[in-house]
Amino acid sequence: MTRDAVQRLKRLAGDLWWSWQPDGPAFFADLDPTAWQRTGHNPVAMLIDAPAGRFDTLAPALEARLEALESALAAHLEACGRGTWHDRAGAPLDAPVAYFSAEFGIHESLPTYSGGLGVLAGDHLKSASDLDVPIIGIGLLYRQSFVQQVSDGTGRPIDHFEAHDFERLPVERVRDARGDEVRVMVEVGAAEVVCGVWRVRLGRVSLLLLDTDRPENPPELRTITARLEGADHRVRIRQALVLGLGGVRALAALGIEPSRFHLNEGHSAFLVLERARQALLARAAPDVATALEHGRARNVFTTHAPAGAGHDRHPADLVHEHLHRLAEVLGLDREALLSLGRWPGEHGHDAPFDLTLLALRSCARANGVSALHGSISRQTFASLWPDRPVEEVPITHVTNGVHAPSWQAAEWREALAPLFPPDAPLPTATDPRWTRVRGLDDATLWATRRRLKERLFALVEARGEERSRRLGHPHTPLGLDPDALTIGFAHRFAPYKRATLLFHDGDRLRGLLSTAPGPVQVLIAGKVRPADAEAHRTLEELFQQTRDPVARVVLVEGYDIALGRAMTQGVDVWLNTPRRPMEACGTSGMKAGMNGALHLSVLDGWWPEGCDGETGWAIGDTRAYESEAAQDAADAHALYGLLETEVLPLYYQRDDAGLPRGWLRRVKAALASTTPWFNSDRQVQDYLHHLYAPG
Ligand SMILES: *Cc1c(COP(=O)(O)O)cnc(C)c1O
């Protein structure tokens, strides 16, 4: 290897495309296993930390793998616009879709996400890259990320924030043709804030991130992009201004004129005002109403919020304080500005401003993220269309999917390869060739499941060891058993997610476990927002469960993309217990299904579409309950019944070869139905045909 070796490695590390290639993560892990672990799977940081000369010569096998990755990336970029899926789709976009989101979860090495919304945005961009759909992501680059640990003894969460050095992240400053940094200005109330612009490379597409932590800005403006989580109304309004106004201006600075503006949640809704301002300045519209109306045609809004929550309602005065200058340019007085984000009938001086309503009023197309969520959203927002029956409220749905190359273990991709022609995209869900999955060899399948489980347990053990080291305790190995039925639960600890439902009736649970045909282990991970007292109590309660001698419960710290991937790949059963119909979609169960884990879930979010009697089990039923307590009791009862009479017997029913044939039939059903359908390629295709398409 020559001296440009480090340059070559940097180039590969500088495009997160590597993170979803079959040999990408393995290549960097093998390059330096210790540094890979120490940096949290961050090749950019690995290369910065490496002593001079460390990578000047690579072993021939690594050199060959580097070359293979480099030429695959070159071929991927080269094929842009030539015979790709988007090329053949029939209604190609002639300019990119600008995809706005306050968070993007692409890889564990880029801490710009909190949970499901971010991971979904990341998966959307990756599929767009794979399919060659022109899209550009717009988000914020946060200086700090939220880390949560669990105290010893009580299980009380200890929250802290970790600051990042952007040089060590897979981002690069955007520069103009002269090599100068691109910066945009955004007015925040009476002040102006300077925003830096960063690019994340994702194969054929890019993500632009804005940040305000620059020396030109006064301290109170530098911290606008300090944190994704835990910001108050003032900071959230400011972040929305940077994202919406700054995002549109960054696109203009780069000469990009998007064909569509895709607003994900209300956070970016102010962009519609900036576009109206530009139209007025260009004299493309005579007044603000016309400018907004012209803009509508190109705007798409997706609500991802669980029913009855997540909508960003801000105090009226605070919104006016921050937007009065923009409103003046638009010719809007205080009332006219605020009325854009108010619920019908709320006209009081202090009636709050809801970004979701601004978005819904300013986008020609809108959707929810599962069939059920589409219907719930039509009810939630029906008052905006008072002269229409609920079923005609113009909010449709596109059911979410997950990015298979990122979430499905390489072992499954290998197992499926002989069934379908290699190098061709996987056939669509309705293709009869998917029935071939039933012919996969049971023993091989079972061995794969076990290998993934062992990999998960090794990660859980390593994190436990790290925790003991941090606390200065001697480490007692957890001794997880790969032959035991393992149930996984990893979700945000929002009250509607009911993380403690499994423990609703402790005696009943212990009773069924003690007469079960074999042992059961439960792995739980999750995220609590900073200063969320109710969720903190949930975590403490779960911690108490880990001390139960009968139920084997393990609480795993640090729920991030890496842990989410390992858990959805490694467990036998994926548990989801939202209080119906609160879940918008939920995507972790899709990740599990693609890895042959069976989904045990309330019929909420995507599950009514995914549950076909074979891919998992439905907890409880779909009726409305007189109280939350009654609903919780009924669902817990149904969950215990399923575990006792279906899940446990099926798992432990073995034939002479020691194989659970009935269970494996369901594993195959999950693989064959989840992989092609609940997949972000299908999701991006649906968006292109139904939401982005012109006309
Ligand atoms: C998939 C994923 C989520 C979303 O999962 P839900 O099913 O909505 O609970 C959240 N966080 C991470 C890290 C994920 O990978």
For the residues of 329-359, what is the DSSP string, one character each?
HHT--HHHHHHTTS-TT--STT--EEHHHHH
Omega within 30 of 0 (cis) for the link into 218: no
User: What does CATH list as the number for 85-148+161-383+393-400+686-692?
Assistant: 3.40.50.2000
Alpha helices in 530-660, H assignment, sequence order: 533-545, 561-570, 588-593, 607-610, 628-642, 648-652
> Band of the pLDDT at 535, cuts 50, 70, 90?
confident
For position 481, what pLDDT does the model report? 96
pLDDT at residue 228 above 90?
yes
For position 87, what pLDDT does the model report? 87
Spatial contact of 256 and 138, defined as CB atoms under 8 Å apart: no
Spatial contact of 170 and 16, defined as CB atoms under 8 Å apart: yes
Distance between Cα 517 and ligand 1 center (Å): 31
| Gap between the Cα atoms of 387 and 378, Å rounded | 13
Pick the residue whose CA is nearest to atom 3 on ligand 1: 116
Mean pLDDT of 475-498: 94
Ligand 1 neighbours (beta carbon < 6 A)? 115-116, 119, 491, 559-561, 564, 586-588, 591
Instruction: Give, in degrees to the nearest 5, the angle at Cα 321 between 161 and 355.
Output: 65
Percent share of the chain, pLDDT over 70: 98
Which contiguous run of DSSP H or E holds residue 147? strand 144-150
Mean pLDDT of 187-197: 97
For position 452, what pLDDT does the model report? 98
Q: Which residues of 41-73 are buried (b: 16+ CB within 10 A; e: fewer)?
A: bbbbbbbeeeeeeebeebeeeeeebbeebeebb
Asked, colleague to colleague, whether 85-148+161-383+393-400+686-692 and 409-420+433-678 share their fold, the answer is yes
Pick left, alpha or beta for residue 560 (phi over 0 → left; psi -120 to 50 → alpha; otherwise beta).
beta
Residue of 491, 594, 606 to mutate, ligand 1, most atoms within 8 A of C-beta? 491
Angle, to 10 degrees, between the axis of helix 5-13 and the axis of helix 60-78? Answer: 50
Question: What 3-state DSSP class applies to 490?
Answer: strand
Question: What 3-state DSSP class applies to 146?
Answer: strand
Mean pLDDT of 656-663: 97
For position 121, what pLDDT does the model report? 98
Among 223-227, 270-274, 320-324, 467-471, which is the least confidently predicted range?
467-471
Fold for the domain defined by 409-420+433-678? Rossmann fold (3.40.50)
Pick the residue whose CA is nearest to atom 11 on ligand 1: 115
| Gap between the Cα atoms of 216 and 210, Å rounded | 15
For position 2, what pLDDT does the model report? 52
Question: What 3-state DSSP class applies to 172?
Answer: strand
> Band of the pLDDT at 251, cuts 50, 70, 90?
very high
Pick left, alpha or beta for residue 242 (phi over 0 → left; psi -120 to 50 → alpha; otherwise beta).
alpha
pLDDT at residue 309 above 70?
no
Distance between Cα 269 and ligand 1 center (Å): 24
Mean pLDDT of 606-628: 95
Mean pLDDT of 169-188: 96
> Band of the pLDDT at 308, cuts 50, 70, 90?
low
| pLDDT tens-digit readout, 70-116 | 999 999 999 888 888 898 887 778 899 999 999 999 999 999 999 99
Question: What 3-state DSSP class applies to 196?
Answer: strand
Tokens of 111: 């801490």
For position 72, what pLDDT does the model report? 96
Distance between Cα 591 and ligand 1 center (Å): 9
pLDDT at residue 542 above 60?
yes
For position 154, what pLDDT does the model report? 78
Distance between Cα 499 and ligand 1 center (Å): 14
For position 3, what pLDDT does the model report? 58
Distance between Cα 6 and ligand 1 center (Å): 35
The per-residue pLDDT of the chain, averaged, comes to 94
For position 1, what pLDDT does the model report? 45
Distances (CA, A) of 336 to 174, 266, 288, 327, 328: 37, 19, 11, 9, 11
For position 523, what pLDDT does the model report? 97
Looking from the CA of residue 565, the nearest atom of ligand 1 is 15
Alpha helices in 438-532, H assignment, sequence order: 442-471, 506-514
| Gap between the Cα atoms of 600 and 489, Å rounded | 10
Reported as half-sphere exposure (CB side, CA atoms, 13 A), residue 125 has a value of 31
Mean pLDDT of 566-579: 98
**Where do the domains of the chain lie?**
4-78, 85-148+161-383+393-400+686-692, 409-420+433-678
Transcribe 273-309 into DSSP letters. HHHHHHHHHTTSSSSHHHHHHHHHTTEEEE--PPTT-
> Band of the pLDDT at 631, cuts 50, 70, 90?
very high
For position 211, what pLDDT does the model report? 98
pLDDT at residue 159 above 90?
no
